[in-house]
Structure 1
Amino acid sequence: MTDWTNRFVGLPFAAFGRDRSGCDCWGLACLVYREELQISLPDYLGYTSVDEHAEIAALVADAKASPVWLPVTGPVEPFDLAVFRRGRLDSHVGIVVQHGLMLHAAGEDCAKVESYLAHPWRHRLTGVYRHIERVSRAVR
């Protein structure tokens, strides 16, 4: 485990949460990116419930089509975002800690580190994405 993950493990789950008082999966990504990378992500509060997977999937699809998120075709790196299906729809994200591990918040549980190569996540992984600012910073 890395130091940065320890600062987020245990944060409570909160639907639509975007801060340390509680987060859903995207809120946790927003918080991690803001605090660790100084990158502001859009809050994507355009859904009515964390159970509305179709609404969330539409937001995920828009983000994946954006030039801000680049598909990772090689090795994953810390802070890449892993996207997962729930049912047939892409509606969950986790923050890569290292190959095989992600930090995420799901099922109204607190933020935790879990394997994305094991059940139940392995077969749900649909892609990994890297923010363009991380790529451009690495090039400098």
Structure 2
Amino acid sequence: MKSFRLKTALVVLFLSIGFVSCSSDDDKVESTVKTKTAFVTEIKGPETGKVNEELSYDVTFIVDNACGEFDKISETTIGTDKGLQVVAKYASDVCTQQIPDPKKTVYKFKSATKGTFEIKFKKSETEFLTQKVVIE
């Protein structure tokens, strides 16, 4: 009988340790990635192009700190003007590298019609930086 109690106690102890060690505390890691608009300082690219030809523009932008990275390009509006903005992502609130270097990304433009187009990127809260392109 003592052998049965000892075995039962060991099984209960073993199962208890298994349940405690398999807890899902590690699954509750919260993402600290934050996004914010990064203002564009320069747009470089061709001023002319052809219908259905893809044009590439180098877009230079400034992030808040050296931990900021390019996330995406999205549409935005200032007053009644529509344009584009660069969105930067920051892995955490704290960054030990505080001096940011200008970052670059490439924006692709393609038009199916002829005409003069303005590529506008958000330069500040109140204005756009504009690049004109003529499609022939």
Could you say whether these structures have the same fold, taking a TM-score greater than 0.5 normalized by the shorter chain as the test? no
Name the structure with the higher helix share: 1
Name the structure with the higher strand share: 2
Computing the radius of gyration from Cα coordinates, the structure with the larger value is 2
TM-score normalised over the length of structure 1: 0.23
TM-score normalised over the length of structure 2: 0.23
